[in-house]
Structures are given as structure tokens and as C-alpha cells.
Amino acid sequence: MAIVEVRDLCKTFNPELPEPIRVLVDLNLDVEEGEFVALMGPSGSGKTTLLNLVAGLDSPTSGRIRIGDQVISDMSESQLARWRTRNVGFVFQFYNLLPVLTAYENVELPLLLLPMSKDERRKQVNNAMEIVGLADRMDHRPGMLSGGQCQRVGIARAIVTDPTIVVCDEPTGALDSKSADNALNLLNLLRSELGKTIIMVTHDPTAANRAQRIIHLEKGRVMDADEIQLQPAVA
């Protein structure tokens, strides 16, 4: 059974206007557990909107989204907030770390919302920081880290709660090629070693090629003909 199941998904902005903006139109999508999927498409094709809907950051106009065994399309805002803490890790283009917190504290932040003991939190954070290779930068603030390191902290924050899916919005968009390569290697490692399901939005074909499957979106629809099966990438 697919871990992400999207059925007849529609998202319309400004539905009250005479000409509403229909961003997603009857979209269907399945993502298997442990799969690394890249969403591509021109600007305005709806890929970020789809990502936000799958991550529970927005609610669909109609249609159904199931993640794991939970249907999130029917959830209220506060239910979604609770659900996100446990089930979604989000990697941003511009890292979006809190500048007043250290790397350790940034990664620990989502755990503060979970019923966890202090020791469990410390263990989880240390583990995540070791996975991203920044165990020696725990006490550094974002301003003291490079862009690549910041993105790795962002990835550590995304996986620290051991989420069902990791969603990435242009994770390499603000990085140089070497740092981008490292970040993609890390995402692949998460998939291959930890079995994480990853959905990544990108404009960069090189980054997309590191995914197992590329889904092309255009005008709010999945372009079936362009769906390309790739060999699993090597971390």
C-alpha cells in the first residue's frame, strides 16, 4: 500500500472571484514507502502547492490525501499541527533556522512539542546531528555556519522526530554545487539507510535525477507521459 495516496485533489485559490485560480485539478498520486520522488514542472504548475498539501500545511478545496493510515485532508488546522509534528519533516530552500537558537536547539525544537523525556530528546538530537555530520557544530548558531551546514541542520531538524515523510522544497536552491551534492547525498542516505519517504520539489534536473522517480506537473496535472522511472540512486 502506498504511504502517500492522493486522490482527485483540487486546489483553487480565490474561489470567490469570477476567475478563480485552479492550481491543482483532479490530481492523483501514489508514493511508496521508502521512495524518493522529485516533483518538477514550470513555475505555477502546482508543485509547491501539492507539497504543502501533502505536508499538511494547507487544506485542499476537494479530494483526499492519505498519509500512512491517516486521512489528513479532513483535519482541522490544530489537528494538522499536531499531525505534522510527528509525521512530517520539512526541508526549506532557505533553511529557515531560528537565528537565536544554536544548531542543537534548532533541531531539538520540534521535539519540545512531543511527550518525550529530556534524555530521549538529547539522544534523538545527537543521532540526527551525527547523521548529517554536524555533531561538532551543536553549539553553533546559524550565523556561524555555512549555507551547506545550515541546510544539513535543516535536514537534521526534519528527521529528528522520525517522521513518516520528509518533504523538501527546493532544498538545493540556495546552495553551491558541492553543498547541493552533499545535501542530495544526505537525502539519498536517509532513504537508503533509514527507509525515509522523501518528496522533493525542484527546478534543477541534476537534483531531480538523484530521485528514484520524477513526477512532472503542468497546469495542476500530473503529466503521465513524462513520468520517468529511474534506477535507485547511490548514496
Can you read off the three cell numbers belonging to residue 169? 522544497
We find the least distance from the C-beta atom of residue 13 to other proteins, in angstroms, to be: 10
Q: How far apart are the first and last CA of the chain?
A: 25
Check if the beta carbon of residue 68 is closer than 8 Å to that of residue 87: yes
Q: Which of 57, 151, 157, 164 is nearest to 110 (CA)?
A: 157
Q: Which is nearer to other proteins, 71 or 100 (CB)?
A: 100
We find the least distance from the C-beta atom of residue 110 to other proteins, in angstroms, to be: 4
Q: Which is nearer to other proteins, 94 or 227 (CB)?
A: 94
Q: Which is nearer to other proteins, 91 or 211 (CB)?
A: 91
Which DSSP string do the residues of 11-32 spell out, in sequence order? EEESTTSSS-EEEEEEEEEEE-
We find the least distance from the C-beta atom of residue 113 to other proteins, in angstroms, to be: 5
Burial class (CB in 10 A: 0-12, 13-18, 19+), 14: exposed
We find the least distance from the C-beta atom of residue 150 to other proteins, in angstroms, to be: 13
Maximum Cα interatomic distance, the chain, rounded to a whole number of Å: 56
Q: Which is nearer to other proteins, 100 or 194 (CB)?
A: 100
Q: Which of 185, 123, 126 is nearest to 151 (CA)?
A: 185
Q: Which is nearer to other proteins, 71 or 112 (CB)?
A: 112
We find the least distance from the C-beta atom of residue 192 to other proteins, in angstroms, to be: 25
Per CB under 8 A, residues contacting other proteins are: 48-49, 52, 55, 57-58, 77-78, 81-82, 84-86, 88, 90, 92-94, 96, 98-101, 105, 108-110, 112-113, 116-118, 157, 169-170
